[in-house]
Amino acid sequence: MSYRRYIINDMKKTERVNLAISGMHCSSCANIIERQLKKVAGVSEARVNFASEKASIVYDPSLAKITDLENAVAKAGYKASENAIDESQKIKTEWHKFLASFILSAPMIYFMLFDFFGWFPGAKSLLPYVGIISFILSTPVQFIMGAGFYRGMWSALKMRTFNMDSLIAIGTSVAYFYSVINFFMKIPELYFETAAFLITFVILGKFLEAKAKGRTSEAIQKLMGLQAKTARVIRNGETLDVPIDQVIKGDVVLVRPGEKIPVDGVILKGSSAIDESMITGESLPVEKHIGDNVIGATINKTGSFEIEATRVGAESTLSQIIKLVEDAQGSKAPIQAFADRISAWFVPAVIIIALITFGIWYLVLGASLSFSLMAFTAVIVIACPCALGLATPTAIMVGTGKGAEHGILVKGGEPLEAACKIKAIIFDKTGTLTNGKPVVTDIIGDVLQISASLETYSEHSLAEAIVKKYEGKLFAVSDFRAIPGQGITGVINDKTYFFGKPKYETYHDLESAGKTVMELSCDDKVLGAIAVADTVKETSKEAVQRLQKMGIDVWMITGDNARTAKAIAQQVGITNILSEVLPQDKADEVKKLQAMGKKVAMVGDGINDAPALAQADLGIAMGSGTDVAMESGGIVIIKNDLRDVVNAIDLSKETMQKIKQNMFFALFYNVAGIPIAARVFSFAGLILKPELAGLAMALSSISVVSNSLLLRGYKPGHKNYVSIMAPFAMTIGFAWLFFEFARFSSGMAK
């Protein structure tokens, strides 16, 4: 599935497209493609994610076409397509490539045993033909199975840089061509098996890596699996079963008991109880009647009804969720810049170290040419930065995926990283700490009819409660005007009325009870007042307590007066109160906390609080399920449960911890492996042969992906002990394995 969306920016229409990229072997490949895409006229942004194998491109369609983007990727030496890569097919291809490479390389293992066991069956008869057989077997491995490495090296050279492919191509070429020269010069020192098995082990690593990476995107597959496959559409009086992608806006869709609702819509006929747990997290079904909205992929439990399709295809709630998750998984966290900077200089540095290693052994210490070349090759191979390129994106893919499973939509690596640094969090009151469904509790004077008439024209959250309270005939209102943060005015029967914040009288008792009081006046004369109360969410107090235990300062911000605000704050355990704050001033209050050196998160409804959400270091928008496309927050909480705010911060901390662990794994193996590969410790019997260096390199990538996959065990509010302990066990295990490789190599070294 590919997505495109239009972005209005500086009065120019640009389009974002996601392309699937194939042929990448490391993060350097991703950087090469990014640089090539940015050269295309009309491209304003290009992000390539190595782990997800996707490119996210913003371009001007009047200046560039999709084919131009695909050609740019092809020019860089890779392949791009709007169609998503078939992960199962990719895994199968890598497996077949490994099998072919292994079958060709396997006889050379048998030949290697002749060096240790002269009595081995066939040793005497086959020994004269070992060279020619090894040459024949290793050549297709080098130039057919290993062709991708040469293409990658050539692409990097065209961009005047080096990448992982460069290291593999150089390392295997040294072993192969040195062996070819020796073979034709009748010199017995041959290393065909080194080149062949190096490529074989790297391909094995790629197969295992692809298999593990496939599991990082399981969240998207699960979300896609929620979608109904067909819809029962009524057209021209006839009921038809059509594929879900053929439903159009305005279609009448029949939904029977036990079926998934195919698309978002509004009920035209009938009623039922709907299981919306996949969106809202509520276990109890919700009663729906004529005029109510329903969400696609939710389950109809009891009755039969007809809906009018209002949002289909990419506009549907589920598609928007999938789009947000895909964008997040293709994004880069700021910490990725660190890995990119290391990768940029790491490969050239490794080549220099390898050349120095060769020079010291051959020119200074007088070692044999073969010994020096194998040390050179081992250094080249062991230092491939594949694992470093996987460290950040794999963790982000799994972390954002787990968040989506639990109703937490993290819009990318940047908000994910920001969440773990939060030191202060500001909650909007209405609809965030409270349920946002106020009810009229007190009426002072005969003011309900006039007040309800005025509020009919208002969009304020309290207006609906007042209008709903009055069931009679309403007055006609003219010259209606809303005064932000104060109230509303309007003319009824030639008289101008004001309804809003009390101006003339005080209502201490009502306000101290947590009620919001609105006063009705006419010509500076008070006619009466109405008190409205909003109930606090059951989970708000628990969420606040958990945040405070984490050492985060919790604030409440509201336009209510100090007494009302204090009453609500006391119910949830908040002592830091910002009251009587106008909507346009909320962002200024965020700035004040930021000026104190705090990283601030703002939690609001994503509409009225948009400026404050944008100003905060992290904006967290409370969603209702149908508004998941909100652009105002870096994190969207679908279930409207404040405990998910805490869970989002917990998840971000665990994900960032995984990224740091992954970077340690990546750098630890490279840094520790280089001196062993350079044969610095040969006096202690530690020598790493190039082919085993290749296997060790592959294992480092696997360790990084496996560590990221441990995030799949994340459960809100629970400690993931396996995830905590596993990195320690992996460090010990892989270090031991690495040491054993070196010991084994010492007995094979020439």
Q: Who contacts 505 (Cβ-Cβ below 8 Å, separation ≥6)?
A: 519, 526, 529
Residue type, 536: V
Question: What is the pairing mode between strands 4-9 and 54-59?
Answer: unpaired
DSSP 43-110: EEEEEEETTTTEEEEEE-TTT--HHHHHHHHHHTT-EEESSPP-HHHHHHHHHHHHHHHHHHHHHHHH
Neighbours of 338 (CB within 10 A): 15
Strands annotated E in 221-311: 230-235, 238-243, 252-255, 264-270, 272-275, 286-288, 293-294, 299-300, 305-311
Short-list 3, 2, 746, 4, CA closest to 378: 746
CA distances in angstroms from 38 to 17, 55, 84, 227, listed in the order given: 14, 12, 22, 36
Q: H-type helices in 457-561, by residue range?
A: 463-469, 508-512, 540-549
Answer whether 442's CB lies under 8 Å from 516's CB.
Answer: no
Identify the H or E element spanning 526: strand 525-533
Residue 364's alpha-carbon distances to 5, 140, 357, 674, 684, in angstroms, are: 62, 36, 10, 19, 20
Give the residue from 582, 583, 580, 556 showing the smallest Cα distance to 570. Answer: 556
Q: What is the identity of the amino acid at 495?
A: K
Phi, psi of 266 (to 5 degrees): -125, 140
Do residues 648 and 410 touch, judged by C-beta distance below 8 A? yes
Burial of residue 366 (number of CB atoms within 10 Å: 0-12, 13-18, 19+) = exposed
Strand boundaries in 408-494, DSSP class E: 408-410, 424-428, 439-444, 478-483, 487-492
Residue-level length of the chain: 750
As beta bridge partners, residue 578 has 557
Q: Which residue is listed with tokens 């391909």?
A: 203
For residue 355, give Cα distances in angstroms to 190, 381, 533, 574: 21, 13, 76, 63
Contact present, 499 and 463 (Cβ < 8 Å): no
Radius of gyration of the chain (CA): 33
Do 30 and 332 form a contact (C-beta atoms < 8 A)? Answer: no
553 is catalytic: no
Q: Which of 428, 553, 641, 650 is catalytic?
A: 428
The 10 Å CB-count burial string (b at 16+, else e) for 135-159 is bebbbebbeebbebbbbbbebbeeb
| Count of beta carbons in the 10 Å neighbourhood of residue 561 | 18
How many C-beta atoms lie closer than 10 Å to residue 378's C-beta?
A: 33
Nearest CA to 652 out of 321, 426, 415 is that of 415
Residues with active-site annotation: 428
